[in-house]
């Protein structure tokens, strides 16, 4: 495996980590107005992700930096073509971060309710748009011979991409409900389990539709054949496993299953892309690949040494953070948000 392929795999791993960790983060944010019945309960909900939400976003920042350094042509075409969608996502993430910090500054219930809904929309918009972005990467977008995106924002809102967006939205809701069940107590814990039981069937139908649509609306089948279909089918099976564990109230195992579902789904997308990074819907020969969009071999080599040093440090620190804040949060806990 050459350095180009290695860095493609590393970018895929970063996105897998991001969607698994930020997935429950977005899910908790979307469930906030519905799960918490009063301000005290909503503070508990927010405090379950309080120590983690900003660290989880580091994964996508690192992925963006890796794309910029390893595949600059991919970065340029992606950010210019998806500019408006990424701008909307960035605005949502900014107001979401502000909401976390500001909601408890004033005791007025209207003030806090307003910021709670800001957290909801700041979580729902990225949860939907990330799926739309992945769907367009896999389906293809209008890219010309000069590697320039020649479409517009509405080209991105095609039925397949919107289906993928709804799939990520539902998966993150289920993922977040299970996380809340593992991190809360008493009534909040019971309510989150009931929400997971309601969201699970919807997520299952959507991910099944995602698999079928991917094999019919893209060139995935012609590129991967039948055998690699084990991975997307496994994504569906792990989601069904999550439903079974939710039914038997083994939410720890259910959470592991949703982690696997998200990870396997992202792997499916990157496997179908390889060695391409952006598919041209105008002419397959104009697609960006890990070779025509990459940096020089020397740059990739230097980046590899840097990654070998710093990635384990970052992983170790984040693992330590999750271990330190592993306890459940209740109304009796010290609430900071």
Find the distance separating the first CA and the last CA of the chain, reported in whole Å: 47
How much is the average pLDDT of 81-86? 90
Q: Any idea where the domains of the chain sit in the sequence?
A: 3-324
d(CA 308, CA 137): 28
pTM: 0.92
CATH superfamily of domain region 3-324? Formate dehydrogenase/DMSO reductase domain (1.20.1630.10)
pLDDT digits (tens, 9 = 90+) for 230-262: 887 888 889 899 989 998 989 999 999 999 999
pLDDT digits (tens, 9 = 90+) for 122-139: 999 999 999 999 999 999
pLDDT of residue 241: 92
C-alpha separations of 292 from 46, 74, 134, 220, 323 in Å: 44, 9, 20, 21, 42
How much is the average pLDDT of 48-67? 89
How much is the average pLDDT of 53-81? 90
The residue written with tokens 């055998």 in the block is 227
**Which residues, listed in sequence order, are joined to residue 276 by a DSSP beta bridge?**
289
pLDDT of residue 160: 93
pLDDT of residue 313: 87
Query: Does 229 score more than 90 pLDDT?
Result: no
Tokens representing residue 325 in the block: 């804040």
- Of 187-191, 222-226, 307-311, the range with the lowest mean pLDDT is 222-226
């Amino acid at each position: 495996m050459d350095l180009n392929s290695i860095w493609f795999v590393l970018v895929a791993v970063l996105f897998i980590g991001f969607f698994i960790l930020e997935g429950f983060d977005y899910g908790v944010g979307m469930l906030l107005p519905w799960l918490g019945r009063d301000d005290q309960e909503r503070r508990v909900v927010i405090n379950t992700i309080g120590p983690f939400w900003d660290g989880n976003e580091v994964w996508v920042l690192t992925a963006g930096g890796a794309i910029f350094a390893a595949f600059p042509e991919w970065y340029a075409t992606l950010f210019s073509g998806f500019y408006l969608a990424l701008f909307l996502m960035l605005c949502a993430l900014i107001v979401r971060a502000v909401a976390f910090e500001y909601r408890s500054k004033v005791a007025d219930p209207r003030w806090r309710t307003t910021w709670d809904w800001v957290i909801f929309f700041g979580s729902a918009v990225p949860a939907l748009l990330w799926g739309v972005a992945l769907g367009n990467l896999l389906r293809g977008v209008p890219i010309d011979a000069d590697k320039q995106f020649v479409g517009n924002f509405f080209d991105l809102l095609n039925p397949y991409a919107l289906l993928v967006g709804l799939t990520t939205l539902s998966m993150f809701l289920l993922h977040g409900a299970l996380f809340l069940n593992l991190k809360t107590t008493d009534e909040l814990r019971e309510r989150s389990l009931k929400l997971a039981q309601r969201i699970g069937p919807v997520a299952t139908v959507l991910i099944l539709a995602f698999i079928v649509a991917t094999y019919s609306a893209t060139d995935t089948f012609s590129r991967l054949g039948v055998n690699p279909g084990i991975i997307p089918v496994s994504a569906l099976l792990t989601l069904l496993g999550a439903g079974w564990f939710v039914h038997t109230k083994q939410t720890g195992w259910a959470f592991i299953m949703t982690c696997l579902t998200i990870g396997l789904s992202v792997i499916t997308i990157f496997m179908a892309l390889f060695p391409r990074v952006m598919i041209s819907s105008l002419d397959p020969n104009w697609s960006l690949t890990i070779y025509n969009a990459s940096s020089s071999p020397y740059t990739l080599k230097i980046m590899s040494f840097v990654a070998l040093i710093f990635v384990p440090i970052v992983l170790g620190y984040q693992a330590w953070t999750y271990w330190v804040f592993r306890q459940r949060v209740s109304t009796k806990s010290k609430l900071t948000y």
